[in-house]
Amino acid sequence: MYLEKELIMMKGNAGEKIQERLFLSDSYLQKAEARILRKQENKVIPDKTILFSFSGGQESDSGWIGGISVSGSGLAELKGEKAIEYELEREPDFKEGDSVTIELDWEKRKKLMRLHSAAHVVSYVFQDVSGNDETIGSNVSSSKARLDYSCDHNISGPLAETEQKANAFINEGHEISIWQEEKGEGAEQIFHWKCGEWDMPCSGLHVKNTREIGRIRLKRANIGKGKERIEILLAD
């Protein structure tokens, strides 16, 4: 969504050599072999990764490194570059330089990708139906996505129509693609989400076809005066 500046910056470094973020080129990778570049107690930096990490916007992935569950992640500096560092549930027996297998919790990731793609579709359909494009916030977790709007009236009416139209669109099976804005060497690179005529800057991970989203359900939540929230849930 629009508020994922931190990860857009991170993606801008995707071409760097110290750590290859395989999820940027293939969001369907569930397993990869990597070498440990640094290990400090239970914190490790692998040279390749399939585990998405972010504190806001789209929730971080769950997974395992060398068979040990990942309990947290964040950006760390290594040799003057930024790399994703993973915190493991316990200190591993493997050492720096060792090869390990990284595995993704695919069930959780699949939900994150479905809900993130659904949130974009809903934002465009809702804009069509209600004329409101005043997004003030968004978030994607593995149980639901939300879109917050600046709005001074109850959106229950347009929401029902949005749910019906978004489900019809999703069911038509539209292709989703990610493209990268070229800004010249060394400059920040911006990623875009594209589906038919719709195109927006986005740094998250998505399904390849709207049909993978499945049926969705929309719920209105009141979050204070002058604001309306749309919650997006997977119906199946």
Min dist CB 54 to Zn ion, Å, is: 11
Smallest separation (angstroms) from Zn ion to the CB of 48: 24
Return the axis-axis angle of helices 156-171 and 106-130, rounded to nearest 10°.
120
**Residues near Zn ion (CB under 5 A):** 1, 202, 204
Considering beta carbons, is residue 11 or 39 the nearer one to Zn ion? 11
Smallest separation (angstroms) from Zn ion to the CB of 115? 10
- Quick one: 39 or 120, whose CB is closer to Zn ion? 120
Instruction: Choose between 161 and 199: whose C-beta lies nearer to Zn ion.
Output: 199
Q: Name the token pair of 26.
A: 């293939």
Shortest Cβ contact with Zn ion: which residue? 202
Burial 12-41 (b: 16+ CB within 10 A, else e): bbeeeeebbbbbbeebebeebebebbebee
**Which SS3 state, helix, strand or coil, does residue 59 take?**
coil
d(CA 45, CA 37): 6
Tell me how far, at minimum, the Cβ of 168 lies from Zn ion, in Å. 21
**Rounded distance, CA 189 to CA 180, Å?**
7
Q: Which is nearer to Zn ion, 158 or 204 (CB)?
A: 204
